[in-house]
Structure 1
Amino acid sequence: MFTANDFIPTSYSESIESGNFQWSAPSNIALVKYWGKKANQIPANPSVSFTLNNCKTITKLAFAKKQNTDNFSFDLFFEGKPKEDFKPKIQKFFERIEIYLPFLKNYHFTIDTQNTFPHSSGIASSASGMAALAMNLMSLEKALNPAMTEDYFYQKASLLARLGSGSACRSVKGQVVTWGQQTNIERSSDLYGVEFPYNIHENFKNYQDTILLVDKGEKQVSSTVGHDLMHNHPFAERRFAQAHENLDKLIVIFENGNLDEFIKIVESEALTLHAMMMTSMPYFILMKPNTLQIINKIWKFRNETQIPVCFTLDAGANVHVLYPNKDKESVLQFIKDELVGYCQNGQYLCDEIGTGAMQL
């Protein structure tokens, strides 16, 4: 298991003047939610997520050596157009990771990024965006240090991604990824995400996630603010303990394929996340009336058909509808018949479990 100091390089064997890399990295959806963090993007509790396949960010990184090495230097383009308002976030990211990538000030970077899902569709793009950027930066470091092992490459990429956006560390590698120390999960770490190390039942292969876009507006409360509200939260300690308990239960469920138990944990986790926001000070209700309509429809449908479909939520109003691949036809029909009317402009995205970042 690597410590943070293991990721600080001493020297590089190669030098490189200029070049470019391109990576895609997916979004992910947490089953056990991470909510609340300590200093340096360390999670207050462990989490586990499904890596998505279709909702991803594609980022091209071009770099060229420069004379002045006093400052970070980069241009940022989103879908081909300069994106000034995102630059402070990249600046802050570079400041956080410079200790791990001491070459950053030696180059001028051109970051060209785009999403495969509609912008401000209410899908968190910070996870996929920061993961894609981290993969590109690691490709440059690997060019400077070709002896780097694959294991080190991916774990360091995950560590860097985490320093950009906590959940980004779960978008680097693997179908099911855990992040945060958990006694019963080998090699688990607060520093980076790890591929779930145990058996996963056939029931979860090609698991589907249809994302219902209930509200595509700007987030009412930023994740950073939301996480900070856990510091003095009256129910924080119990919540952190619950996350550990639910993750332990999922280890067994992933192995035995018990979808009824899976549904209980996943839906309870989603509602708990929102309960934490409703009971913080200041407090927020991020669900919309249509979110609740959808949840009730899913419960009714599941009850009537016995099809193991369930929902989860991020820190917003959109609903992720999770179900096994074998039930795809019936669930999609149900979504078209009964749920689309609750989506903004009837919009939804079909996704499924993917495997992580890919070099293009």
Structure 2
Amino acid sequence: MAEHRFLASKYDHNLTSGTITWQSPSNIALVKYWGKYGAQLPMNSSVSFTLKNCNTRTTLSFEKLLLAKTSSHEKFDFEVYLDGKSEESFKPKISTFFERIESYLPFLKMYRFKIETSNSFPHSSGIASSASGMSALALCLMDLERQMKPEITDDYFIEKASFLARLGSGSACRSIEGPLIVWGEHPKIEGSTNLFGTPYPFELHDNFKKYQDTILLVDKGEKQVSSTVGHDLMHNHVFAKQRFQQAKDNLSKLIPVFKNGTLSEFIKIVESEALALHAMMMTSIPYFILMKPNTLEILNRIWKFRKETGSAICFTLDAGANVHVLYPEVEKEIILEFIDRELSGFCKNKEFITDEVGLGAHKISN
């Protein structure tokens, strides 16, 4: 499926001004993507749980310019606010995003935009807001396009929104829908594509439909190495080929696990993926470590608790020090008590966020 199907044709309606609001969640990858090429395309396929409580709400206000910008050298006209305050530091990333998507949304230089965004989680919490933020903005822009071209179908709307979100932040394409999203071509998953996220198409056991994710905020500071730099280091990584094959194999292994609800196998695959991600960071040139001593202490205590109790608790990690504690809903009470008693002390200010699997983004009535 080529990108050209997302190129816009002539718009039927002329809008002068308006306001659109969408709320979009973050997501947590179970099989990790690490390494990309071209226009934000993944070197391996991934699958993620869409979250419910960690989300970004974005309001896009637009006003048509008296004279549209026609030169490729002219800048886009927009301002950005986070929690009601002007946020200049966000502008370079959004400018790059607009440059990438202008050929698919040619109206971008016809309007002046005001982007107002807020997160349900603390801004400095160490949770990546790029997935939720970029997907929410992509949905607002797609909503504007559909208002100008009402015949756009729901399926096309979702696919193009995910496609656009990917060009802002790769993992953002997995935040549009839920509860389980695949991104990247995989030989055993028909319809999977590098261009946008797609709902997991096979049977999903009840064990996974209300899965819990408690996020332990080990480190709330800025990462020493950005994810963008980390992805780039995979180009010449000595273990890159093996890692991409490992991810593909692990996604294949998860297909029967998702069907049968075998939590012991789920745990093995998910924890292995988390550690493999950080192994790539520790063996790249230059190498780096994003885990902190408290991260390791938490992992060891999770292993100890699981061995002693037979719990189905496990962990996964993003590209950072924070720990996502995963467990089935039936264990929620006992796991939260364990986290509060034994793990919260290794978090900054004992902070953690309780979340669970969600169903994706939705529009907010203005």
Q: Match of 2:103?
A: 99
- Write the deviation string for residues 19-46 of structure 1: whole angstroms up to 9, x where unpaired: 0100000000000000000010000000
Separation in structure 1 between the aligned mates of residue 190 and residue 140 of structure 2, nearest angstrom: 28
Separation in structure 1 between the aligned mates of residue 171 and residue 120 of structure 2, nearest angstrom: 19
Separation in structure 2 between the aligned mates of residue 184 and residue 103 of structure 1, nearest angstrom: 38
- Write the deviation string for residues 242-277 of structure 1: whole angstroms up to 9, x where unpaired: 110000111111001000000000000000000000
Separation in structure 2 between the aligned mates of residue 110 and residue 295 of structure 1, nearest angstrom: 43
* Structural RMSD (CA): 0.6
Q: Match of 1:184?
A: 188
Q: How big is the shift at 1:298?
A: 0.2
Q: Match of 1:325?
A: 329
The unaligned stretches of length 5 or more in structure 1 are none
- Write the deviation string for residues 186-229 of structure 1: whole angstroms up to 9, x where unpaired: 21000000010111001112100000000000011111100000
Q: AA paired with 2:162?
A: S
Separation in structure 1 between the aligned mates of residue 240 and residue 325 of structure 2, nearest angstrom: 27
Are 2:130 and 1:157 equivalent residues in the alignment? no
Separation in structure 2 between the aligned mates of residue 230 and residue 300 of structure 1, nearest angstrom: 33
Are 2:52 and 1:60 equivalent residues in the alignment? no
Q: How big is the shift at 1:76?
A: 0.5
Q: Match of 2:317?
A: 313
Q: Match of 1:289?
A: 293
Separation in structure 2 between the aligned mates of residue 19 and residue 241 of structure 1, nearest angstrom: 47
Separation in structure 2 between the aligned mates of residue 173 and residue 338 of structure 1, nearest angstrom: 34
- Write the deviation string for residues 53-78 of structure 1: whole angstroms up to 9, x where unpaired: 00000000000100232231001100
Decide which of 195, 199, 205 is 1:195's aligned counterpart. Answer: 199
SS at match of 2:195: coil
Conserved 8 A contact 2:59-2:140: yes
Decide which of 348, 354, 359 is 2:352's aligned counterpart. Answer: 348
Matches within 5 A, 1:165-314: 165-314=169-318
Separation in structure 2 between the aligned mates of residue 11 and residue 68 of structure 1, nearest angstrom: 18
Separation in structure 1 between the aligned mates of residue 79 and residue 312 of structure 2, nearest angstrom: 47
SS at match of 1:312: strand
Q: How big is the shift at 1:313?
A: 0.3
Of all paired residues, the percent bearing the same amino acid is 63
SS at match of 1:293: helix
Q: How big is the shift at 1:322?
A: 0.1
Separation in structure 2 between the aligned mates of residue 222 and residue 11 of structure 1, nearest angstrom: 39
- Write the deviation string for residues 299-340 of structure 1: whole angstroms up to 9, x where unpaired: 000001111000000000000000000000010010011001
TM-score, normalised by the number of residues in structure 1: 0.99
Separation in structure 2 between the aligned mates of residue 68 and residue 191 of structure 1, nearest angstrom: 33
Conserved 8 A contact 2:21-2:140: yes
TM-score, normalised by the number of residues in structure 2: 0.97
Q: Match of 1:44?
A: 43
SS at match of 1:40: coil
Conserved 8 A contact 2:36-2:43: yes
Q: AA paired with 2:63?
A: A
Separation in structure 2 between the aligned mates of residue 165 and residue 221 of structure 1, nearest angstrom: 16
SS at match of 1:350: strand
Q: AA paired with 2:271?
A: E
Q: Match of 2:121?
A: 117
Separation in structure 2 between the aligned mates of residue 76 and residue 65 of structure 1, nearest angstrom: 17
